Amino acid sequence: MGTLASVLEKAGFATVALSSIRGQIESTAPPRALHCEFPLGRPLGKPNEPEFQRKVITAAFSLLEKPSGPVLVDYPISIDDDADTPLSCPIPPADTSDRDPAAAEAFGLLPAWRRTQETYGRSTVGKVVTAEQVPDMLDLFAQIADGESWEEVGSLGDPTKSLPISKFLRRSSNLTS
């Protein structure tokens, strides 16, 4: 992120980077960075604590008041990694007798996905196929892996609903020209 921030700054965009790994942020030297001693994967600290997360974001945005540096500031609160705490995601046994193992696993994860959807009201699944269609899509991928052609297998979703990264980058670059 440090290198990208430097490139964006040269193009006229003010940037702030959040850092979880001090050595990495020091070596890339972005214009402005807030180093947070938080577990990896938790850039804003405490999950489900919007007040704490807002304080982290406010501290990061306050760096925009500083001139382009590099500026590296430590967030004053550290959070210990609770990696020793076992994760738990209860998944009921699924009938997998006629499914590819990957599709069976996805089918078994549907109840967990539904719980998350109900709790948070959002998901990263659903641009091309619904969550319920993921196991069926994996069955199609397994058929392709077994030698069937794309044309024979077909598709469940409409791939035009997703925005490939190349189009995203092209559209983003047009904003600066």
* pLDDT at residue 56, as a whole number: 96
* pLDDT at residue 75, as a whole number: 96
Contact 17, 2 (CB under 8 A): yes
What average pLDDT score do residues 27-53 get?
Answer: 91
The model's pLDDT over 66-125, given as tens digits with 9 standing for 90+, comes to: 877 889 999 999 998 776 666 666 666 666 667 778 788 888 888 888 888 888 887 777
Residue 60 and residue 20: Cα distance in Å, rounded? 13
Confidence check: pLDDT of 169 > 80: no
* pLDDT at residue 160, as a whole number: 59
* pLDDT at residue 19, as a whole number: 92
Report which of residues 123 and 61 the model is more confident about.
Answer: 61
The model's pLDDT over 128-165, given as tens digits with 9 standing for 90+, comes to: 777 788 888 888 888 888 888 877 877 766 665 554 54
* pLDDT at residue 72, as a whole number: 94
Per-range mean pLDDT, top range of 4-18, 45-59, 120-134 = 45-59
* Cα 40 from chain centre: 12
Residue 174 and residue 55: Cα distance in Å, rounded? 33
Q: Tokens for 139, please give them.
A: 């069955």
Report which of residues 127 and 131 the model is more confident about.
Answer: 131
Contact residues for 36 (Cβ-Cβ < 8 A; gap 6+): 18, 19, 20, 43, 44, 45, 56, 75
Q: Which of 164, 88, 81 is nearest to 172 (CA)?
A: 164
pTM: 0.51
